[in-house]
Amino acid sequence: MANIRDVARLAQVSPATVSRILNGNQVYKTTDETRKKVLRAVTELGYQPLARKHSLPAAGDAETAFSVGCLLATTRGKYSDPYYLSILSGIEEELRKLGGTVSLIETEQELEHPETLDRVLRAELSGLIMMRPLSEPLFSLLRSRIPHIVGIDTGHMPIDNIEYDHLRVSRMAVEYLWQKGHREIGYIGGSAGGTPLKKSRRYRSYLETMADLGLEVRPEWVLNCEWDDQKCMSLVEDTYRGAGLPTAFYAASDLMAMAALRSLYHLGVPVPGRVAVIGMSNIEMSQYANPPLTTIDVPSEEMGITAARVIAARIRGDDTLPKRILLPSRLIERDSV
């Protein structure tokens, strides 16, 4: 079982700092970043005192306090995907205002381990916020043991879902490239949980929009990188050396768009002079890409805030029909197109 020194080592702080943060000591101030590092280390290691701490109110009185788990969606390291961390940040901050806490953070892959699943089921959570769809047996098991579940873009129908319009963001991206004069438009993306690319709503919308505009979809310009940046770079290089590149790529995430930019830079292909690139999500680092990345903004932090509000309302008695809340997206013009 992990101890406080293990937490300190993983968070790269002193054991005293861990102790102060977990005990709510306000005498010695710590930064929000340090606090988040410590809490993430605690949840990753399964350090038990955090669960006891989270059973206390973060705001308000003990009778109205509640504890929520989060199921992250990521194909990278647990805390290395800025899109999902932005959602998590919104959840954490809003729950704190509402008298709740995030007491447990897991990924879909971690739930495949029986001991992790058992820990989640024994955590006596008031609710769970999911960022990825699960297999029906696992989803049904969680629903039978956790009173309230809210999804972020999961597609599970019996629960509330907070989403952005996948079909619209792809249409916005492709139509923008078309308006800029591009007729050879490739696609970079993947799908969730190892499902085929054709299951991806963003990819299906890309195909539909290309057809509506009378543009040819060439299979060699559809790069299924499975959300792996190294694979994305390799596929861009293979396309360059094989079939040749289109005049533009729509990448269905900023991380993959930035991987494509790196690959094109190493190949000596000028962006946007020879190939334009547009991303999707508007993560903070996209504005610092070389060149700064044109992208579709998805309000990730607001999705987390909305999910926190919905699950707090459910825990406190809202028994209305499940909601589907669709948040808006918008084009961010920078220099990569």
SS3 string of 277-326?
EEEEECCHHHHHCCCCCEEEECCHHHHHHHHHHHHHHHHCCCCCCCCEEE
- The b-or-e profile of 137-170 (16+ CB within 10 A means b, else e) is eebebbeeebebbbbbbbebeebbbbbbbbeebb
**Helices 82-98 & 254-267, crossing angle to 10 degrees?**
150
Residue 68 DSSP symbol: E
Which contiguous run of DSSP H or E holds residue 236? Answer: helix 229-241
pLDDT band at 304 (very low <50, low <70, confident <90, very high): very high
For the entire predicted model, the pTM comes to 0.78
The domain segmentation of the chain, as residue ranges, is 4-164+300-327, 166-298
**pLDDT attached to residue 205:** 97
Contact criterion met (CB below 8 Å) for 86 and 300: yes
**pLDDT attached to residue 62:** 44
Angstrom distance (rounded) from CA 215 to CA 261: 24
Residue 198 DSSP symbol: G
Across the range 244-259, mean pLDDT stands at: 97
Angstrom distance (rounded) from CA 19 to CA 28: 11
- What CATH fold (topology level) applies to the domain 4-164+300-327? Rossmann fold (3.40.50)
Q: What is the mean pLDDT of the chain?
A: 88
Which contiguous run of DSSP H or E holds residue 256? Answer: helix 254-267
Residue 268 DSSP symbol: T
- Does this chain's domain 4-164+300-327 share its CATH topology with 166-298? yes
Across the range 314-318, mean pLDDT stands at: 95
Give the whole-number percent of the chain exceeding pLDDT 70.
88
**Alpha-carbon radius of gyration of the chain:** 22
pLDDT band at 47 (very low <50, low <70, confident <90, very high): low
Query: What does residue 129 show for φ and ψ, rounded to 5 degrees?
Result: -110, 120
Which contiguous run of DSSP H or E holds residue 138? Answer: helix 136-145
Contact criterion met (CB below 8 Å) for 249 and 188: yes
- Asked whether residue 55 carries a pLDDT value surpassing 60, the answer given is no
Task: Give bridge partners of residue 326 from the DSSP assignment.
Answer: 163
How far out from the chain centre does Cα 192 lie?
12
- Asked whether residue 317 carries a pLDDT value surpassing 50, the answer given is yes
Contact criterion met (CB below 8 Å) for 283 and 255: yes
DSSP string computed for 76-137: S-TT--HHHHHHHHHHHHHHHHHTEEEEEEEEHHHHTSHHHHHHHHTS--SEEEESS---HH
Identify the architecture of domain 166-298 in CATH. Answer: 3-Layer(aba) Sandwich (3.40)
- The b-or-e profile of 78-87 (16+ CB within 10 A means b, else e) is bbebbbbbbb
